[in-house]
Amino acid sequence: MIEEILLDAIVDTLKVLPFLFLTYLFMEYLENRTGDKLGLMVAKTSRVGPAIGAAAGVIPQCGFSAAAASLFSGGVITTGTLIAIFLSTSDEMLPIFLSERIPIRTIAVILGLKMLLGMVTGLVIDAFIRKRRAKSPKNKDIHDLCEHEHCHCGEGSILKSALIHTAKITLTIFIFTLIINCIVALVGEEALSGFLTSIPVIGAFLMGLVGLIPNCAASIVITQLYLNSMISLGQMMAGLLVGAGVGLLVLFRTNTNRKENLMIMGLLYASGTIWGLLLDLMGLAI
């Protein structure tokens, strides 16, 4: 069992690694080529960022949420864009649906819902934040991320800096993934599923809490519960909308503003569960 848990943790971590490295390499390139112009570039694209982020996030790639968290910490994308990506990220849902031969139309509707809800939520959040920040407080900068990680950016090649960033974040992801895999193995997926469905009245809130677990196991459990007709569509959507893979883990590791991190996690949980409850109230079924 120990070997299997360790192997799963290694595989899950390796899946994210290429996305992290390419993200940090891109950020280092931006910092070296654009400098202070980067803030202006972000400002010009911020109004459509959530729409682009939601569309990109729905593509099945487990490392995209982690990459988005790093981009946010470096000031490249807005809060609304980050939330939109987190909400639309599919993680392990799509492979499970395909393996169970769920109709393509059903899969397309669910992915479309995630993308739409993520985009709307992100646009609303950015519009609200834009009004509050009209007095121009200090914006994020890639320098802040570099200082936090002590990577000594600017003293060597962008490749070296990107590798240092990637190595530090990858180690954090591996440790937490290993811990979570151990917990799931000890408790058992059946026992966990039974607990989650024992109180159906607050199913959406429970699924949302499961979605906060920074591991693909969360989306696997939620999707299987739905396929076994143990939870409703709204409850499944609540969990999958909140589920952002290792995105939240990377956010807390790279962004020094803990209060902001907690706010983002709260927004993610609240928006996901609210949308899930609304879908159930509407009686939507697919």
pLDDT single digits (tens) 56-65: 877 765 567 8
Q: Which of 7-21, 80-94, 208-222, 247-261 has the highest mean pLDDT?
A: 247-261
Task: State how many domains the chain has.
Answer: 1
Mean pLDDT of 100-129: 90
pLDDT above 60: residue 142: no
Has residue 88 been placed in a domain?
Answer: yes
This model's pTM is above 0.75: no
| Section 211-229 average pLDDT | 78
Residue 39 has pLDDT above 50, yes or no: no
Is residue 153 a contact partner of residue 161, using CB atoms and an 8 Å limit?
yes
Q: Distance between terminal CA atoms of the chain?
A: 38
Confirm whether 57 is domain-assigned. yes
What is the reported pLDDT for 36? 46
Residue 208 lies inside a defined structural domain of this protein: yes
Rg (CA), the chain: 19
Chain mean pLDDT for the chain: 77
pLDDT > 60? residue 140: no
pLDDT above 90 for 181: no
Count of other CB atoms within 10 angstroms of residue 159: 13
Contact call for residues 117 and 241 (beta carbons, < 8 A) = yes
Residue 65 domain-assigned (yes or no)? yes
* pLDDT confidence band for 82 (50 / 70 / 90): very high
Q: Which of 160, 139, 136, 138 is nearest to 149 (CA)?
A: 160
Q: Is residue 55 part of a domain?
A: yes
pLDDT at 281: 86
What tokens does 67 get? 């990459």
Tokens 């200090």 — which residue? 138
In a domain, 286, yes or no: no
Among left, alpha and beta (phi > 0; psi -120 to 50; other), residue 276 is alpha
Task: Note down the domain range covering 90.
Answer: 2-281
Instruction: Report whether pLDDT(42) > 50.
Output: no
Assign residue 103 a region (left: φ > 0; alpha: ψ between -120 and 50; beta: otherwise): beta
166 versus 238: the higher-pLDDT residue is 238
Domain-located, residue 275: yes
- Residue 137 has phi, psi (to 5 degrees) of -75, 180
